[in-house]
Structure 1
Amino acid sequence: MSKKKADLLAVAENLFYKYGFNGVGLKQIIQEANVATMTMYNHFSSKERLVEEVLIQREKRYWSYLDSSVESNETQPFIMAVKGHCNWLKDYSYQGDMFLRAIEDYSGVDADIENVARGHKQRLLNYLETIAEKSGLRNGHDLAIRYTLLMEGTTSMTTLIGVDKATDHALDIAALFVSEATKA
């Protein structure tokens, strides 16, 4: 990826996260990224394609966090998934969920953006279902849904109680879920 494209994506992601997708125009992105208008359009045919690519790149970073965390201690995959998610929230997503915002702003308006955002949510559930299957815990599907709800709820709660409290509570709840699932 060229430096200018990377700069556009980084600036756009930061602005979209701070001000929302509808609160930021291409002119502001172009100006803050310090690129020519033509450079923007050489990489992205429209603001919507820029939003789509921002979400795709953000999702790649998210999965890198989650995978690294789970792989660091494979004996506790659910706990490590929650830890990875909590670390992501602390580092990148302490003011809410960009994917949920994209669903809200683009549902019925831009199917490509909506599909990227909804796909991210579905991939999280699928990922946790795979962990449940591999772990052999009883009620694996239900456990995956609980963890998905926990992680999504933690993201939402960062805006209400702060990222540190939300993630501390999430880790406590994650341990309770595992304890319950391993009881005979």
Structure 2
Amino acid sequence: MSDKKQELLECALKLFYQKGVNSVGINEILQVSGISKKTLYKHFDSKESLILEALKLRSEEYLQWINAIIPTGASEQEVVEALFSGLDLWFSGSNEALGDFKGCFFINVAYEYKGNSGEITEYCKAHQFRFRDLINSKLPTDSTELLDSICLLVDGAINRAYVCDDNASAKHSLDIIKRLYFQ
């Protein structure tokens, strides 16, 4: 990927995540990035293609982070503890890999595109399944019930932390899942 394309993509992702995809126009991205409109349209044929690429970049960053915080060969409880401890750090602003916490980018974008069944919405859905697959690959046993619980509690913790400004939601979710599965 060219340096200019990467700069545009990183700038767009930052702005989209901070303000929402519908609140950020192409001109703002150009102004903040300092890159010309011609260069932008050389790499992205529309705002939607830029949003889609920003989603892909964020998905890659997020899944790499998840993969890194969960140790290889961990027990089910260690997987759960590492995941929710990582979320707790993210919610409290102590996670450099993901930056300042503004909720789940994929849920936020899906909400903004609600009712649209295009590529952007489909990518948001696909990210949720990639996350689920990654967590499943980290669990030493095949437990659909535990996997479902983890995924639902992660989504709930992220939403509660963002919407209700409840930075303790990851700790609460960890307590819940420990009571249900590890006592």
1:126 — aligned with what? 133
Q: How far 1:168 sits from its partner (Å)?
A: 2.5
CA RMSD of aligned residues (A): 2.2
- Mapped partners of 1:173, 1:15: distance in 2: 34
Per the alignment, residue 156 of structure 1 pairs with: 159
- Residue equivalent to 1:33: 33
Summarize the alignment of residues 1-184 of structure 1 with structure 2, pairs less than 5 Å apart: 1-71=1-71, 74-75=74-75, 76-89=78-91, 90=93, 91=95, 92=99, 94-109=101-116, 111-132=118-139, 134-135=140-141, 140-162=143-165, 164-180=167-183
Unpaired runs of at least 5, structure 2: none
The TM-score normalised by the length of structure 1 is 0.83
Distance 2:10 2:146 in 1: 35
> Residue 96 of structure 1: SS of its match in structure 2?
coil
**Is the 1:44–1:50 Cα contact (8 Å) retained in structure 2?**
yes
Return the alpha-carbon distance in structure 1 between the equivalents of residues 73 and 167 of structure 2: 22
Mapped contact 2:12–2:29 kept (Cα < 8 A): yes
Does the CA contact (< 8 Å) of 1:82 and 1:174 recur in 2? no
Contact 1:69 1:81 in 2 (8 A): yes
Q: Distance in 2 between matches of 1:14 and 1:113?
A: 17
- 8 Å Cα contact 1:21-1:105 kept in structure 2: yes
Give the residue type in structure 2 aligned to 1:101: N
- State the identity %: 26
Cα distance, 1:83 vs. partner? 2.9
For structure 1, the residue ranges without an aligned partner over 5 or more in a row are none
Letter paired with 2:169: A
Measure the CA separation in 1 of the matches of 2:166 and 2:13: 20
| 1:100-153 CA-partner distances (Å, limit 9, x unpaired) | 122122244362111111011122233334444x335xxx11111111111001
Q: Which runs of 4+ in 1 moved over 6 A?
A: none
Q: How many angstroms apart in 2 are the aligned matches of 1:110 and 1:33?
A: 30
The number of residues matched between the two structures is 176
The C-alpha deviation readout for 1:76-97, integer Å capped at 9, x for no partner, is 2232233334444443362222
* Superimposed CA distance per residue, residues 139-181 of structure 1 (whole angstroms, 9 cap, x where no aligned partner): x11111111111001110112443632233233334334315x
Structure with the higher helix share, 1 or 2: 1
TM-score normalised per structure 2: 0.84
User: Which deviates the most, 10-19 or 52-61?
Assistant: 10-19
Instruction: Tell me, yes or no, if the aligned pair for 1:62 and 1:88 is still in contact at 8 Å.
Output: no
Residue 78 of structure 1 aligns to a residue in which SS?
helix
Of structures 1 and 2, the one scoring higher in RCO (CA 8 A, sep 6+) is 2
Contact 1:125 1:148 in 2 (8 A): yes
